[in-house]
Chains A and B, each alone.
Chain A
Amino acid sequence: MSEISNQLENLSYKAQQIANEASQLASIVVDTSGGHSDFIIFGITVLVLACFVGYYVVWSVTPALHSPLMGVTNAISSVIIVGALLAAGPIDSAISKYFGLVAVGLAAVNIFGGFVVTNRMLSMFKKK
C-alpha cells in the first residue's frame, strides 16, 4: 500500500514538473513568437467593433446634451491614466517613472475636471 502511495506521490510530482516545464515553454513560445503581434489583430478587432458601438451610442445622444457629452468624453479619455500608473509604478527613480508621475497628474486634472464640470452642467438641466 505504502509503495503504491509513494509511487503515486512520485508520479504526481513528476506530472507537476512536466506541467511546469510545459507552461514555461509555452510562455517562451509566446514571447518569441511575439504574443504582441497577435494582439495587434485582436486589438484592431476590438477597435473596429468599439467604433461601431461609439457610432450608434453617440448618435443617440440628444443635441441639447452635446456639451456634457464633450465633458464626459474628455474625462473618460483620461483612462490613459492606466498607462501612466504602470509607468509610475516601479520603486526605482528612473526618468521613465517621472514621466509616468507627470502623466498621472495631468490625467487626474482631466478626470476630476471633466466629471465635475459635466456634473455641474447636467445639474442645471431642469424640466418645466
Chain B
Amino acid sequence: MSNLTTAAYLISSVLFILSLRGLSHPSTARRGNFLGILGMTIAIVTTLANPGVLSYKEIGIAFLIGGLIGTSIAVRIQMTALPQLVAAFHSLVGLAAVFVAASAYYNPSAFNIGTVGAIPMGSLIEMSIGTAIGAVTFTGSIIAFGKLQGFVSGNPLVFKGQHFLNLLLGLGIIALIVKFCIDQNQELFWLIVAASFVIGVLLIVPIGGADMPVIVSMLNSYSGWAAAGIGFTLSNNLLIITGALVGSSGAILSYIMCKGMNRSFLNVLLGGFGGEQAASADGVKDDRQAKQGNAADAAFMMKNSKTIIIVPGYGMAVAQAQHALREMGDLLKAAGAEVRYAIHPVAGRMPGHMNVLLAEANVPYDEVLELDEINRDFSETDVAFVIGANDVTNPAAKTDKTSAIYGMPILDVENAGQVFFVKRGMASGYAGVQNELFFRDNTLMLFGDAKKVCEDIIKGLEN
C-alpha cells in the first residue's frame, strides 16, 4: 500500500470519527452526516485508484444498482418502520463481509495474502472469524427484521435444549475454523458459513419483539466487528478503525437499552422474556376497577392546566398518532400551558425512536426530554399524559420486589396531579405485569386508539 493511499485512508478514518462526534448535538448533527459521506467518498475513490482495480465498468454498474436501491428505499421508508429498515441494512453488511471473505479465499493474491491453497495462517484465522461474524449478522438481522416487520411472530420461540444446541454449534464452528486453518479446504469454508447462518437464526428466535432494541443495537455492533475482521485480512487500518467505532457504538447502545430495562445483556440474549404467554399469566387475576374517562373530560382538564408532560411509547408509533399528538400539544400551548415530552430510554423499538417520530411531527427537540432530565418535574406537574407507553410508567418497578420489572428505571408519572392513560384495553404490557398506575385515584383511563383519542381531545379543545 503506498503512503498516499495510507494517508487517504487515515483521513477517511478521522472523518468517520468526526462524523460520530457531530451527533453530540442536533445543531451539528447534519454536518456530522456530511463528514461521514465525505469520508466514505475518499475511501472509495482511493480504493478505485489502486492499480489492482481495473474493471471499472462492472463495478460502476454494481455500485449504481445498489445505490439506486438503497436511495429509493431510504427516501420512501416511513419513520415508524425505521427499526426494521436498520435491521435489514445490517444484514447486508454481514452478507457483504461473507462475500468479501469468500473472494479473498478464492483469489488471495488480489489482497496480497499469498496464493490459493497457500494462504498464511494468520490471514486464514482472520478470514474465517470475519466470515463467521458476517454470517451470524446476516441471518440474525433477517430474523430481527422479520420480527419487527411482523413476518415472523414477535413472541419468543423457546424450545428445550436450545442453549445447549447453540453451545454445540458454537463449539462446532470453532472446530471448523481450526480445521479450515490447517487444511484450507473450500468445503470447510462453506461449512463455517452455513453453521454461522444457522446459529444466527437460533440466537435471535428466542428473543421477544420488545427486546428488539437491544438486538438491533447488538447486530449493529456485530456488523462493525465483521468489518474490522475483514480489515485484518486486508491489513487495512481504515476498516479496523471504522469497525471498532461501529462495534463499540452498538455495544454501548445495547448496554444503555439493557440498563433502561434493568436486565443483564445475558438475560436478554437467553431470551424467552415477554410475549403472549407471560401476558396472560398475570393479567387476569385482577378484579380491581380502573376509573374510566372520556376525551371531553381530558380536554377540559388539560385546558385548565399550567404544566403538562406527555409520555409517548411504542403504541403511539403503531397508531401513527404523533401528528395528532403534536397538534393537541400546540392547542394546549396556545391555551397557556407548558407542554413537554418525556422519553424513556427503551421507548419504541430502537434507541431514540420516539425522538425521531416526534421530530417528524415537528415537535421542537428542546421540548423533548430524557428520563434523567425530567423525572423530578412530575411532582410539580398538573397533568401527565401517557400515550402508548405502559411498563415504563409502572410504579411497581420501585416497590414490588416480586415484579418482573422490579428495579427498572421508570418515569414517575404517578407524582403528577392527574394522569391520563391512553390505552386500547386493560391488557398488561410487554413484561406481562399489571400496571399499578391504572388503579390510582389520580389516574383516568382513556380507552381507544391513540390517534383517535388525540383527535377527540383536539375537538374538545377547539370547542
Contact = CB atoms under 8 A, between A and B. Distances in A.
Interface residues of B, number: 119
B324 interface: no
B428 interface: no
A105 to B, nearest CB: 4
A88 B71 CA distance: 22
Contacts of A39: 232, 235
B359 A124 contact: yes
Interface in A24-54: 34, 36-37, 39-40, 43, 46-47, 50-51, 53-54
Nearest to B221: A73
B99 interface: yes
Interface string B358-378: 011010111110100000000
Mostly helix, strand, loop or mixed at chain A's interface?
helix
Interface stretch (B106-114, B203-211, B268-276, B398-406): B106-114
Contacts of A114: 70, 74, 89
Given A60-B21, A108-B67, A65 B29 contact: yes
A101 B62 contact: yes
A112 B93 contact: no
Given A58-B248, A80-B96, A120-B74, A43 B44 contact: no
A79 B17 CA distance: 13
Interface in B91-128: 92-93, 95-97, 99-100, 102-107, 110-111, 113, 120, 122-123, 126
A2 interface: no
Contact of A79 (B74, B238, B355): B238
A67 B356 contact: yes
Contact of A121 (B71, B106, B359, B368): B359
Size range of the chain A interface in the assembly: 35 or more
Contacts of A128: 364, 366-367
Interface in B233-292: 233-250, 252-253, 256
A19 interface: no
Interface in A73-128: 73-91, 94-97, 99-128
A14 interface: no
Given A43-B237, A50-B245, A127-B26, 16 more contacts: A40-B232, A47-B240, A54-B20, A61-B20, A64-B370, A69-B23, A84-B96, A86-B234, A89-B54, A91-B55, A96-B106, A105-B65, A107-B93, A110-B70, A119-B30, A128-B367
